[in-house]
Amino acid sequence: MPEVINLQRRYLLAGTAATAVAAGTFVPGANLRASEGSDLPEYVNWKEPETLIIHSDNTLETKRSAFGTASITPEDRLYIRNNISPPPSSIVEDRDSWEVSIEGVAEPRTLTLAELKTMGIETVTMVLQCSGNGRAYFDHDPSGTQWQLGAAGNVMWTGVPLRSIVEALGGVAEGAEYVTGTGGEELPEGIDPLSILVERSVPLEAMEDILLAWDINGEPISLAHGGPLRMVVPGYTGVNNVKYIKKIAFTEEESPARIQQTRYRLMPVGEEGGPQWPSVWKMDVKSWITGPLDNRGAGPVLVTGVAFGGTTPVDSVEVSVDGGETWHQADFVGPDLGRFAWRPFVLAVDLEPGNYMLVSRATDSEGNSQPENFEPNQSGYSHNGWRAPGVEIAVS
Amino acid sequence: MPEVINLQRRYLLAGTAATAVAAGTFVPGANLRASEGSDLPEYVNWKEPETLIIHSDNTLETKRSAFGTASITPEDRLYIRNNISPPPSSIVEDRDSWEVSIEGVAEPRTLTLAELKTMGIETVTMVLQCSGNGRAYFDHDPSGTQWQLGAAGNVMWTGVPLRSIVEALGGVAEGAEYVTGTGGEELPEGIDPLSILVERSVPLEAMEDILLAWDINGEPISLAHGGPLRMVVPGYTGVNNVKYIKKIAFTEEESPARIQQTRYRLMPVGEEGGPQWPSVWKMDVKSWITGPLDNRGAGPVLVTGVAFGGTTPVDSVEVSVDGGETWHQADFVGPDLGRFAWRPFVLAVDLEPGNYMLVSRATDSEGNSQPENFEPNQSGYSHNGWRAPGVEIAVS
């Protein structure tokens, strides 16, 4: 077992009398690499190309190496997943005139972004993660973008709490059970709107945390990420955070849109999607290693990663360098940004020559830990197993 | 007095029975506007031009309107102040090979950035503020860049604690009283090096908080902001945070460089700089309004700003819309990022037609408040008076 270095103790530089031994055998996990495209699509040409994997024009993944130990994911490294193409960029040229209608309240009305900015302000940091993040780790080859870990980021949103708006409009109408948000994308002609409309419903209880956000990480939200106004639902997967939000309705039923009724559902392998299966809503506890990712020489190294709890605060994270045979408690790095945020973590180890499999396993404050393997579901959503994303490295 | 709206109470939209009355007269403060240049210098051409005031190639100020209510200042909006030109960009092409020598310890040695990354990791959020921020508000016309408020930002640095390095190298040499950092800029030929060398000394006690940082806001530090490696000294003014750090020495005396001996000193108006005057080191409690900045129609508005305590946590901030006649407690927005960070604040008011002067006054946890006016000093450093940065607006 490699020596675990306590960073609080005197650090042992070259010449240390470390009692490290090479790690033993372990089961190699998947170590997939998505193919890298060449150029970024125009609407995101301001992003850092070397930090992104281009799956398609509408699906860009943050490279694992680009996370580092950052408390915040910069917008120019943040993943992109659009269900349909973004609206024209003219909507972010006069941001304050953007309108959102609020329905299913005592006094329904349409509000401009300028008005929203007078109604309250909060900042929330949260993991934004695509429902299909980790799809590449399923063995049954679910169709869809083969995300590994990079359809996720930790971002700081600023906007007005939905509950403040609701309060100003006299409260939620009786019988409402869902917050239903509608995106402002332009729908193509000649196609059933419900088959393509981005309209998602989340349980009413989410209202307490929802923001209508205009800033991301201290800047106006880019068009690519849903500017001028996005409904952010902390703790819920990406699709529920509706971009270009143009309508919020408090409804008795879930949206009839296909994206709600049959897509983003957790069904057994082989089954068709449908409203009888659970919707992909809240995220579960998860973590992954962000470094080292490459073979290296023997000696001390900081094993780093990120961990989060979904809607529950992450409580602790363990790291193993031998594929889960032995575990060591890691330390968190940087500020606690609240229960929806991720926390970078670090474990100092001294690695002798040998082969290693680095894995991490997080536990939330309710005692839920990541499973070793995640039960498959037809569409490959919500993967949070700890083994598959393991990092194999050889130390020489 | 305008009605102050408690955001926790039911929000009053249009049609409110507000008892607002127009604000009375007040003493108008300085409301200076720096002239705007056209194009950004090449080494910072990745910054957002519309958020910056260009004073010169080496001095760029963040516009007041660009702060908003952000907890973090994005790097592409952050001010620039270079004492001499940055080194060639080749130094950020192979970051991990950057070397820093550590002297004045039991076992002096040179460390690469790759080695530093194995020695420990921390993240600190801190206000980075030029010593001369606010110089434009002095009446005695001190020479130098006429900064208003925007030679400041709140940034998140990640790197290795200096104390961890010192511990690994056997501790600080006996008799050392200062941490002296030397920048890696190339010095022009034919000129006394000490007249231009960027080398700053801070008291040894600062060591506890110093980081050798490689990341800013989750990304490798740009050349313009001191990458690949910067010595960050939380709570101390910008000049003490030495860019391209190539040497750190624990010394008995302060650096003999002019930037230490005669510049960045607090002396009475009319006096020459010299070591007999206090060095510009720790920052004091400060705040300013970030919005609204323009005339507007009557109605509800959120008055926003940022406040920080320097090396002491900011405790509270009051806002006045009548130039300091009456004060109201503002609320903080977003996460507490630690004692070196700023906190955005908000006060909801309902403004009737009239003229207003918006000012803010912060108090730190030791009870120190911003003074109404700040005593002048020859070079115009460290301004933290609350009156001069007031914002005049007319509400119609």
Select the residue from B10, B11, B116 to test the A interface by mutation, using most A Cβ atoms within 10 A.
B11
Find, among A172, A198, A186, the residue nearest to A255 by Cα. A198
Find, among B80, B87, B36, the residue nearest to B58 by Cα. B80
- Count Cβ atoms below 10 Å from residue A96 Cβ, excluding itself: 12
B304 touches chain A (CB under 8 A): yes
> Chain A closest CA to B75's CA: distance in Å?
10
Q: Is A205 helix (H, G, I), strand (E, B) or coil?
A: helix
Select the residue from B112, B123, B157, B211 to test the A interface by mutation, using most A Cβ atoms within 10 A.
B123
CB contact under 8 A, A299 and B118: yes
Burial bucket for residue B140 (CB in 10 Å: 0-12, 13-18, 19+): exposed
Residues A212-233 have pLDDT tens digits of: 999 999 999 999 999 999 999 9
ipTM score for this prediction: 0.88
> Chain A closest CA to B378's CA: distance in Å?
35
Token look-up 């109470």 returns B9
Say if CB B311 and CB B322 are below 8 A apart.
no
Element (H, E) at B194: none
- Which candidate from A11, A118, A334 shows the least CB-CB separation from B168? A11
Tokens, residue A371: 């499973």
Select the residue from A46, A76, A118 to test the B interface by mutation, using most B Cβ atoms within 10 A.
A118
Strands B314-320 and B328-329, sheet pairing = antiparallel
Distance CA A177, CA B376 (A): 61
Note the pLDDT of residue A132.
98
> Chain A closest CA to B164's CA: distance in Å?
7
Tokens, residue B61: 């100020």
> Chain B closest CA to A108's CA: distance in Å?
13
Which residue in chain B is spatially nearest to A333 when comparing CA positions?
B122
CB contact under 8 A, B304 and A121: yes
User: Which chain B residues contact residue A215 at CB under 8 A?
Assistant: 68-70
User: Which chain A residues contact residue B208 at CB under 8 A?
Assistant: none
User: Which chain A residues contact residue B167 at CB under 8 A?
Assistant: 10-11
B215 touches chain A (CB under 8 A): yes
- Which candidate from B121, B218, B348 shows the least CB-CB separation from A302? B121
Which residue in chain A is spatially nearest to B161 when comparing CA positions?
A7
User: Which chain B residues contact residue A10 at CB under 8 A?
Assistant: 167-168
- Which candidate from A10, A118, A299 shows the least CB-CB separation from B301? A118
A164 touches chain B (CB under 8 A): yes
Give the number of residues written for chain B. Answer: 396
CB contact under 8 A, B346 and A10: no
Note the pLDDT of residue A5.
55
Sign of the CA dihedral with A230 first, then A231, A234, and A235 last: negative
Say if CB B362 and CB B384 are below 8 A apart.
no
User: Which chain A residues contact residue B164 at CB under 8 A?
Assistant: 7, 11
Question: DSSP string of A138-199?
Answer: -TT--SS----S-SEEEEEEEEEEHHHHHHHTT-BPTT--EEEEEE-PPPPSSS-GGGT--E
Non-local CB neighbours of B375 within 8 Å, separated by 6+ positions? none
Q: Give residue A233's region: left, alpha or beta (phi > 0; psi -120 to 50).
A: beta
User: Which chain A residues contact residue B304 at CB under 8 A?
Assistant: 121
User: Which chain B residues contact residue A46 at CB under 8 A?
Assistant: none
Q: What is the CA radius of gyration of chain A?
A: 22
Note the pLDDT of residue B70.
85
- Which candidate from A118, A215, A300 shows the least CB-CB separation from B68? A215
Distance CA A331, CA A346 (A): 5
CB contact under 8 A, A334 and B158: yes
User: Which chain A residues contact residue B7 at CB under 8 A?
Assistant: 120, 164
CB pairs under 8 A between A and B: 132
- Which candidate from B7, B158, B167 shows the least CB-CB separation from A11? B167
- Which candidate from B10, B219, B300 shows the least CB-CB separation from A118? B300
DSSP one-letter code for B167: H
Interval A170-195 mean pLDDT: 96
- Which candidate from A167, A168, A333 shows the least CB-CB separation from B122? A333
Residues A227-265 have pLDDT tens digits of: 999 999 999 999 999 999 999 999 999 999 999 999 999
CB contact under 8 A, A218 and B7: no
Residue-level pLDDT, tens digit, chain B, 396 residues: 455 554 433 333 333 333 233 333 222 222 222 334 448 998 999 999 999 999 999 999 999 999 988 899 999 999 999 989 999 999 999 999 999 999 999 999 999 999 999 999 999 999 999 999 999 999 999 999 999 999 999 999 999 999 999 999 999 999 999 999 999 999 999 999 999 999 999 999 999 999 999 999 999 999 999 999 999 999 999 999 999 999 999 999 999 999 999 999 999 999 999 999 999 999 999 999 999 999 999 999 999 999 999 999 999 999 999 999 999 999 999 999 999 999 999 999 999 999 999 999 999 999 999 999 999 999 999 999 999 999 999 999
Non-local CB neighbours of B257 within 8 Å, separated by 6+ positions? B194, B197, B198, B199, B200
> Chain A closest CA to B262's CA: distance in Å?
37
Select the residue from A4, A46, A72, A347 to test the B interface by mutation, using most B Cβ atoms within 10 A.
A72
User: Which chain B residues contact residue A158 at CB under 8 A?
Assistant: 68-71, 333-334
Beta strand extents in A205-276 (DSSP E only): 211-216, 219-220, 230-232, 245-251
What average pLDDT is seen over chain A? Answer: 91
